[in-house]
Amino acid sequence: MGREIIAAGLVNDTFIAQATDGFEEYRLAVEPYTLDYAERETGVPAALIREVAHAYADADRAMICWTLGITEHHNAVDNVLALINLSLLTGHVGRYGSGLNPLRGQNNVQGGGDMGALPDRLPGFQQVEDDALRAKFEEVWGKKIPPKRGWHLSGMFEAMERGELTTLYIIGENPAQSEADAAHALHLLKGLEHLVVQDIFLTATAEMADVVLPAAAGWCEAEGTVTNSERRVQRVRKALNPPGQARDDTTIICDLARQLGYDWGHPTAEDVWNEVRRLSANHAGMSYRRLEELGGIQWPCYDEHHAGSPFLHGRLWEEPVRGPRAPFLAVEHDPPVDRLDGVYPIRLTTGRRLDSYNTGVQSGGYRSPLRRGETLDLSPEDGGRYSINEGEHVRISSRRGSIVAPVRYDSSLRPGLAFMTLHFPDEVDTNQLTIDATDPKSGTAEFKATAIRIEKIEPIGGHLAAPLKDVRPAEQPD
Amino acid sequence: MTEASAVRFIELTIDGQSVRVPEGTTLLEACRGQGIATPTLCYLENLTPVNVCRVCVVELEGSRTLVPACSRRAETGMVVHTDSDRVRLSRRMVLEFLASSVDLSLAPAVGEYLRRYNAHPERLGPPAAGSERDFRPVGHHHQPDGTTAETVAQPVKVDNELYIRDYSRCILCYKCVEACGVDAQNTFAIAVAGRGFDARISTEFAVPLPESACVYCGNCIGVCPTGALMFSSEYELRQTGAWDEAKQAQTDTICPYCGVGCTLTLHVQDNQIVKVTSPLDHDVGHGHLCVKGRFGWQFVQNRTDPAKE
């Protein structure tokens, strides 16, 4: 698309000259990526790519929204950079109704990052390796903070493999079922010296734990805030009393701190939030009262008179540009790590279905009329090619594992592409197949691109030849 | 936003008062701005007006017919009467026809309207017994003999786990059709089938919901003004007599699923969520939800208390 926009003379010259760097290098880098090349590589018709490129470049306002189809690849960050380049090329950034919008998959994945649940950040996206920023937190917290970045999730699993990480305290995640190459992840979790799980369910991960801390559901049994895809901080409120001995996360963590010799008192969610406001300029203006009155506020919101920020990067349109210019960062095409070949000829991608969610610990709780259990979705053409009817069970194998699932036809899939979800790991553990090749910059695994083969299971005397259980191949090709 | 400041204002007369409103304002909005109570049934802030119920009609000088306030935009020089004899008679007739043929016991607004317009639906006779309406032959609606009031009474449709459809309570306001269609969900699982008194909301060929295009967003329930569409959880509690709104608290929180961040209003009775609504005036979702936000909350209630096992 970038090459076509340049070739067709649809670039926003004014914006590029005023606000960006590196256009010439980008132009040279995309030159080989003709429409014909892109069609050959992706299977998307050249005319269609051209149409989208022109529609995007010609629009008064245009926004690129994406989900994990961009980021769950071994070159996740490069994929995002490619999209950023398009927005710089056309000036579709930094203005109302334009921009780049990663649609978040969880109700607070944005807020988790905002609050410093990243290996290299403190609350408010402040760099942990910046001495001045760290000092600000150390002063308020009265304690030295390790000056080095930590591990992201994939890095933690690598550290477990090296024996450097021997204890884990997991809050509200189910890695025993959600990690790519599940058998390998499970092996590493089992090897830990000590595992603590704090969750609202006894998940598969919690069942492995030495200590389980029953938690209240953050969205309806506790007070607090979450932050959505558009950086809007909104209040969650307590509507129910949690069952049994389950308690909210703040109480559990403060009790744990007390056991370790630090008395943090009994802060309310609002007390904790006000500390965030003190330390993060982006959140300073968001009092509970204002969050209530305005129905949420989008950060940055610097003071109690600031209305919040519906979009970012408006500075790129100021003359002259305030702050650094936005760089084009050219990237090269790099196909998935798990290559297709004669043995594994089908590309499997994973995702969600409308009524279900991740490993199903939440969505499994209600009786959805849409739910049909896990299937391998194939194009009708592939169904014909492999002589597999809908509803028939097949063995699905990748270079890491093998599982059994029934087939369903989906005419929205093109031949050669198959689809499964991670919603029903107890019945069909799709992550036995996926590859844990990760993006070195983001640590995200390539859930979206696995090479598989499928084999029909011939019924013998009315029974399936193989049990419908997950079976690992005898030999593990690497 | 610069366009907003360029909006023109227009002047009209409502009930003898001179009124100034921004261009594009409907007569309903203008009336509400004046504190004039105007009944509505098929109108909702987050849907496109379809002006089918006719209960909001007002008299416009120079117009042959009464006009629906919900969709008619104010124009310069209009002279509008909202409480003339003609308006009152029309509203009364509409309310009597609806209330005589439909079970409106779960539409609290209607009771107040009936009193306000001195409407007596019972004068049209005791309600006739109902029957299955979906498969009546086209054009075979027989006129009643005058001793009973014809009704839309029919069996409740319970064909899935999440919500029921009790079309004995349906006034054909089209809100569910709009919410299922272009105003929110773009699923088009339901439409109005049949003509005249046989008209009814239906899936394609009246198939049960699980065989229809329904995606169970429940946005139809969110807009239904008469309780015809209802959470199964509410229906079951009502069946056993346990539904008790006096014991219910409503708490706004954020959906536990994706990153859109829709506001959920949890209706809680005895520490159990019994239904979920969403505020119409919230920027994020404008009152509309998906199947997970509307119905996916059960997981917090499936956790057993070990002390009570």
B309 or A18: which carries more pLDDT confidence? Answer: A18
- The pLDDT tens digits for A172-206 are 988 988 887 888 889 999 999 999 999 999 989 99
Q: What does the mean pLDDT of chain A come to?
A: 91
Residue B132 lies in a domain: no
**Are residues B196 and B292 both part of a single domain?**
yes
On whether residue B158 sits in a domain, the answer given is no
What is the nearest CA distance from B164 to chain A, expressed in angstroms?
A: 13
Pick the CATH number of A346-475 from 3.30.420.40, 2.40.40.20, 3.40.630.10, 2.40.160.10: 2.40.40.20
Residue B147 lies in a domain: no
Beta bridge partners of A421: A351
What pLDDT score was predicted for residue A470?
Answer: 39
The number of CA neighbours under 13 Å toward the Cβ of A371 is: 19
List of chain B residues whose C-beta atoms are within 8 Å of the C-beta of residue A368? 161-162, 216, 291, 295
Report which of B252, B236, B237 is spatially closest to residue B293, judged by C-alpha positions. Answer: B252
Of B249, B261, B292, the CB nearest to A226: B261
Among the partner-chain residues A106, A239, A362, the one whose CB lies closest to the CB of B296 is A362
Task: Please give the residue of chain B at the shortest CA–CA distance from A202.
Answer: B303
| CB-based contact B256:B287 (threshold 8 Å) | no
Suggest the residue from B254, B266, B280 to mutate for an interface test with chain A (most A CBs closer than 10 A).
B254
Q: Give the pLDDT confidence score for residue A85 in this predicted structure.
A: 97
Residue B146 domain flag: no
Q: How confident is the model at residue A460, as a pLDDT?
A: 53
Residue B230: inside a domain: yes
CATH of segment(s) A2-98+316-327: 3.40.228.10
Helices (H), A295-335: none
User: Which long-range contacts does B25-30 make (Cβ < 8 Å, 24+ apart)?
Assistant: B25/B73, B25/B74, B26/B69, B26/B70, B26/B71, B26/B72, B26/B73, B26/B74, B27/B58, B27/B67, B27/B69, B27/B70, B27/B72, B27/B73, B27/B74, B27/B78, B27/B80, B28/B56, B28/B69, B28/B70, B30/B74, B30/B80
pLDDT band at A473 (very low <50, low <70, confident <90, very high): very low
**B83 and B197 in one domain?**
no
B231 pLDDT band (50/70/90 cuts)? very high
CB A110 within 8 A of CB A229: yes
- Compare CB distances from A220 to B253, B290, B291 and report the shortest one's residue: B253
Q: Nearest by CB to A107, which of B258, B295, B304?
A: B258
CB contact under 8 A, B162 and A110: no
CB-based burial label for A159 (10 Å; 0-12, 13-18, 19+): middle
The reported pLDDT for the residue numbered A339 is 94
**Which among A234, A362, A367 has the least Cβ separation from residue B254?**
A234
Question: Does the CB of B209 have a partner CB in chain A at under 8 Å?
Answer: yes
Q: What does the pLDDT look like over B236-274, one tens digit per residue?
A: 999 999 999 999 999 999 999 999 999 999 999 999 999
Q: What is the pLDDT of residue B28?
A: 97
Q: For A67-96, how does the pLDDT look when each residue is reduced to its tens digit (9 = 90+)?
A: 988 989 999 999 999 999 999 999 999 999
- The verdict on B291 and B167 lying in the same domain is yes
Tell me the CA end-to-end span of chain A in Å, nearest whole number. Answer: 36
Cis peptide upstream of residue B279 (ω within 30 degrees of 0): no
Residue type present at position A98 = S
Q: How many CB pairs under 8 A join A and B?
A: 152
Q: Which residues contact A417 (CB under 8 A, 6 or more apart)?
A: A346, A347, A349, A379
Same domain? B170 vs B296: yes
How far is Cα B186 from Cα B177, in angstroms, rounded to an integer? Answer: 10
Cβ(B96)–Cβ(B149) below 8 Å: no
Contact A86, B242 (CB under 8 A): no
* Distance from C-alpha of A322 to C-alpha of A335, rounded to nearest angstrom: 37
Confidence of residue A312 (pLDDT cuts 50, 70, 90): very high
SS3 for B107-157 is CHHHHHHHHHCCCCHHHHCCECCCCCCCCCCCCCCCCCCCCCECCCCCCCE
In a domain, B228, yes or no: yes
Per-residue pLDDT tens digits for A259-280:
999 999 999 999 999 999 999 9
Contacts of B272 in chain A (CB under 8 A): 240
**B178 and B96 in one domain?**
no
CB contact under 8 A, A232 and B284: yes
Average pLDDT over residues B64-92: 97
Are residues A361 and B263, on separate chains, in Cβ contact within 8 Å?
no
Mean pLDDT of A317-330: 92
Would the CB atoms of A295 and B260 count as touching at under 8 Å?
no
Q: Give yes or no on whether A109-306 and A346-475 have one common fold.
A: no
Structure tokens at A177: 């079922």
Q: Confirm whether B138 is domain-assigned.
A: no
Residue A478 predicted with pLDDT over 70: no
- Report chain B residues whose CB lies below 8 A from the CB of A243: 303-305
Q: Which residues pair with A247 in a beta bridge?
A: A215
Domain count, chain B: 2
- All structural domains of chain A with their residue ranges: 2-98+316-327, 109-306, 346-475
Residue type, A170: I
HSE of A312, CA atoms in CB hemisphere, 13 A: 12
Confirm whether B72 is domain-assigned. yes
Q: What is the domain range of residue B114?
A: 8-127
What's the CA gap between B97 and B149, in Å, rounded? 9
Domain with B44 in it: what CATH number? 3.10.20.740
**pLDDT at site A30:** 96
Q: End of a domain among B74, B103, B127?
A: B127
The string of pLDDT tens digits covering residues A293-310 is: 999 999 999 999 999 999
| The CATH classification of domain A109-306, taken from the options 3.40.50.740, 3.30.380.10, 1.20.1250.20, 3.10.310.70 | 3.40.50.740
pTM: 0.89
Distance CA A21, CA A3 (A): 17
> Residue B214 sits in a domain of what CATH number?
2.20.25.90
Q: Residue B210: closest CA among chain A residues belongs to which residue?
A: A369
